[in-house]
Amino acid sequence: MNGRSAAVRGRWPRAVALALALGAAATTLTACGSGGEVTYAGGTFDEVTPGATARAASADEVRGKKLAVEGMELLRTADTVRMGVDMTTPKGHQKVTLHMDRDSNCTGTFDAGPMQRGELIVVDGGTAYVRFSDASLDAIRDMAELRGPDAAATIRERTALARGKYLKIPAGTDSSRAVPGMKCDLDELTDKMVGGPDEGDVIKALPETRRYGRSVTPLVETEGGGDGEETTVYVAASGRPYILGVEGIEDGGQTMSMRMSAYDEPVVAKAPAAALTIDISRIRGGGALFEV
């Protein structure tokens, strides 16, 4: 990924959400023949530092900041979490869902366009298994038809081999650098979380409502504490304030939303049966997946 936007300084939930969303997306979408990394505007994420001035906070603001801190800490220390990222970028619409733990086990799905849809499994940070949907393989084959008979014949053969199979990509091979999920690790992702909120950050708790089929408390952070761009974090309204979603994340022409679930639920990441796998070297050319 490129540098991180300096504009997020002083807006804590948005800074954390951007780091997590882009980290999760880049983990999965920089491969599968996507032809480029997930990027955003230049700059850096800095740890939030206390502001020079402070103002009296309302009760809703005090409660909002407290719930935000607790929710972020629960996320930062969770043993496992399922994270869903829905992004609209200048390159199009992309979706990623990852259920990951701190031992580099991961399962998930990816959708970065017609030719880049499927599922993945990573076991102990080692071998990754990627299965493209039949519709994606059809789209790859149809695209190859436009490149002439030789390319079409080659891609027909490769997509036929991959249909219904998991592509097996061992860690440490040349192929692994462009494989989704090879760094699918909750430790690495939560390491991107910046420090605590600034004294001047305004995070306001709104009345309880329903979201994602559950009772939630919305925590709204507004740019500059006024009428600017808003980021809303939804935390569980009963029990511990686990973060269940983040909406209103925008940066450099990108919009994102996130869902979190399955906190501390075991990640079941097992290698598929040998009959359902195929070595990636059999369908990969000199570059991207399925490249002739």
Least confident piece of the model among 50-59, 104-113, 213-222: 50-59
Q: Is the pLDDT of residue 1 over 80?
A: no
Can you tell me the distance from the alpha carbon of 13 to that of 241, in angstroms, rounded to the nearest whole number? Answer: 14
Q: Is the pLDDT of residue 109 over 90?
A: yes
Q: What is the pLDDT of residues 139-150, one digit of tens each?
A: 999 988 888 888
Pick the closest to residue 254 from 20, 80, 90, 126 (CA basis).
90
Residues 6+ apart with CB under 8 A from 55: 200
Domains of the chain (ranges, CATH numbers): 59-77+200-261 (3.10.450), 80-188+269-282 (no CATH)
Residue 135: the pLDDT is 95
pLDDT band at 31 (very low <50, low <70, confident <90, very high): very low
pLDDT band at 14 (very low <50, low <70, confident <90, very high): confident
Q: Is the pLDDT of residue 4 over 50?
A: no
Can you tell me the distance from the alpha carbon of 16 to that of 165, in angstroms, rounded to the nearest whole number? Answer: 36
Q: What is the pLDDT of residues 190-235, one digit of tens each?
A: 887 877 787 778 899 999 999 999 999 999 998 765 556 788 999 9
Residue 145: the pLDDT is 86
In this structure, are residues 192 and 200 in contact, taking their beta carbons and an 8 Å threshold? no
Can you tell me the distance from the alpha carbon of 59 to that of 94, in angstroms, rounded to the nearest whole number? Answer: 38
Q: What is the pLDDT of residues 112-167, one digit of tens each?
A: 888 889 999 999 888 889 999 999 999 999 988 888 888 889 889 989 999 999 99
Which range, 26-35, 39-48, 217-226, is most confident?
217-226
121 forms beta bridges with 107, 129
Mean of pLDDT values over 100-116: 91
Which range, 21-25, 38-42, 108-112, is most confident?
108-112
Three-class SS string for the chain?
A: CCCCCHHHCCCHHHHHHHHHHHHHHHHHHCCCCCCCCCCCCCCCCCCCCCCCCCCCCCHHHHHHHHHHHHHHHHHHHCCEEEEEEEEEECCEEEEEEEEEECCCCEEEEEECCCCCEEEEEECCCCCEEEEECHHHHHHHHHHHHCCCHHHHHHHHHHHHHHCCCEEEECCCCHHHHHCCCCCCCHHHHHCCCCCCCCCCCCEEECCCEEECCEEEEEEEEEHHHCCCCEEEEEEECCCCCCEEEEEEEEECCEEEEEEEECCCCCCCCCCCCHHHEEEHHHCECCCCECCC
pLDDT band at 66 (very low <50, low <70, confident <90, very high): very high
pTM: 0.80
